[in-house]
Amino acid sequence: MDCSHRGSNCRGLAVSVFPLLVIVHALAATVWTGGHLVLDLRVLPRALRAKSAAQVRAFEETFEPLGLTALAIQVLTGMWMGWIYLPGFQGLFSPANPIGMLVGVKLLLLASTAAPD
């Protein structure tokens, strides 16, 4: 299949795969944010009352494999959708391209949540 130009069959594939990417992306977002809601609203207040970092670490150990898998799925599906919207990531952070600006800001926000261990 020749994917080297716009309008090729690959473009058609990209269009049909998009709804699937959005669904998987949004489902992974619920896992990632849901886990953090449990951390913020249940685990953290109890751990603070008990002054116990061990409770936070225990939650982290349980949630991490699921949460990081969900985050990795989000990054993969998100980049894929970004590539479909902005082939070659052209227009990222461009004020002339609202989608490029939104995806760029989102990448910065995601990067701002990363903390060294």
Residues that bind ligand HEM (CB under 6 A): 22, 25-26, 29, 32-33, 74-75, 78-79, 81-82, 85, 103, 106-107, 110
Tell me whether residue 7 or residue 19 sits nearer to ligand HEM (CB atom): 19
The rounded distance, in Å, linking the Cα atoms of 9 and 27 is: 28
Tell me whether residue 44 or residue 79 sits nearer to ligand HEM (CB atom): 79
Residue 9: CB minimum distance to ligand HEM, A? 22
Is 57 buried (19+), middle (13-18) or exposed (0-12) by CB count in 10 A?
Answer: exposed
Residue 32: CB minimum distance to ligand HEM, A? 5
Residue 107: CB minimum distance to ligand HEM, A? 6
Count, residues in the chain: 117
Give start and end residues of each alpha helix (H) in the chain: 9-38, 44-49, 53-85, 98-112
Residue 109: CB minimum distance to ligand HEM, A? 8
Closest CB to ligand HEM: residue number: 78
Chain centroid, CA 43 distance in Å? 23
Cα-only R_g, the chain: 19
Tell me whether residue 50 or residue 66 sits nearer to ligand HEM (CB atom): 66
Contact (Cβ atoms closer than 8 angstroms) between residue 101 and residue 52: no
